[in-house]
Amino acid sequence: MSKQKEELEHRLKLRNVKLSDYEDIQEIMSSIYKNQGGAWTKQEFKNQLKAFPEGQIGIEDNGKLVAAALSIVVDYTKFGDNHTYDQITGFGKFDTHDMEGDTLYGTDIFVHTEYRGMRIGRRLYDVRKEICENLNLRSIIAGGRIPGYKNYADEMTPRKYIDLVKNKEIYDSVLSFQIANEFHVRKVITKYLPSDTDSRAYATLLEWINIYYEKDEKLIGNKKSIVRLGLVQWKMRRFSNVDDLMQQVEFFVDTVSGYKSDFCLLPEFFNAPLLAEFNDMDASEAIRNLADYTDEIISRMSDLAVSYNVNIVAGSMPEYDGKKLRNVSYLCRRDGTQDKQYKLHITPDEASYWGLQGGNGINVFETDAGRIGILICYDVEFPELGRILAEQEMDILFVPFWTDTKNAFLRVNTCAKSRAIENECYVAITGSVGNLPKVENMDIQYSQAAIYSPSDFSFPHDAVVAMASENEETIIVADVDLDLLTKQRKAGSVRNLEQRRLDLYSIQWKQKK
pLDDT in tens, 403-423: 999 999 999 999 999 999 999
As a whole number, the mean pLDDT across the chain is 90
What phi and psi values does residue 39 have, to the nearest 5 degrees? -85, 160
Give me the pLDDT at residue 282, please.
86
Band (pLDDT 50/70/90 cuts) for residue 237 is confident
Give me the pLDDT at residue 488, please.
87
The active-site residue, picked from 132, 332, 377, 415, is 377
Per the confidence metrics, is the pTM higher than 0.75? no
**Same topology between domain 12-209 and domain 226-491:** no
Half-sphere exposure of 76 (CA within 13 A, CB side): 16
Mean pLDDT score, 317-331: 94
The active-site residue, picked from 207, 340, 343, 417, is 343
Identify whether 377 is a catalytic site residue.
Answer: yes
Task: For residue range 163-205, list pLDDT tens digits in order.
Answer: 999 999 999 988 998 898 889 999 898 888 888 888 888 889 9
Long-range contacts of 332-337 (CB under 8 A, 24+ apart): 332/298, 332/301, 332/302, 332/304, 332/305, 333/305, 333/367, 333/368, 334/305, 334/306, 334/308, 334/309, 334/310, 334/368, 335/306, 335/368, 336/302, 336/305, 336/306
CA geometry: angle 172, 176, 180, nearest 5 deg:
170
Mean pLDDT score, 486-506: 87
Q: 83 pLDDT exceeds 50?
A: yes
Band (pLDDT 50/70/90 cuts) for residue 8 is low
Mean pLDDT score, 284-302: 94
Mean pLDDT score, 345-351: 93
What phi and psi values does residue 197 have, to the nearest 5 degrees? -70, -30
Is the CB of residue 343 less than 8 Å from the CB of residue 376?
yes
The active-site residue, picked from 60, 132, 264, 268, is 268
Give me the pLDDT at residue 6, please.
46
Give me the pLDDT at residue 510, please.
86
Band (pLDDT 50/70/90 cuts) for residue 221 is low
Give me the pLDDT at residue 1, please.
46
According to DSSP, the β-strands at 263-265 and 311-313 are parallel
Band (pLDDT 50/70/90 cuts) for residue 369 is very high
Band (pLDDT 50/70/90 cuts) for residue 31 is confident
Band (pLDDT 50/70/90 cuts) for residue 262 is very high
Give me the pLDDT at residue 5, please.
46
Q: 144 pLDDT exceeds 50?
A: yes
Architecture of domain 12-209: 3-Layer(aba) Sandwich (3.40)
Give me the pLDDT at residue 290, please.
93
Q: In what side-by-side order are the strands of the sheet with 64-74?
A: 12-16, 57-61, 64-74, 103-111, 139-144, 202-209, 184-190
Mean pLDDT score, 496-506: 90
How do the domains of the chain map onto residue ranges?
Answer: 12-209, 226-491
Identify whether 425 is a catalytic site residue.
Answer: no
Architecture of domain 226-491: 4-Layer Sandwich (3.60)
Say which range, 28-42, 137-151, 157-171, 248-262, has the weakest mean pLDDT. 28-42
For residues 428 and 231, give the distance between their C-alpha atoms in angstroms, rounded to a whole number: 8
Amino acid letter at 255?
A: T
Identify whether 422 is a catalytic site residue.
Answer: no
According to DSSP, the β-strands at 365-367 and 370-374 are antiparallel
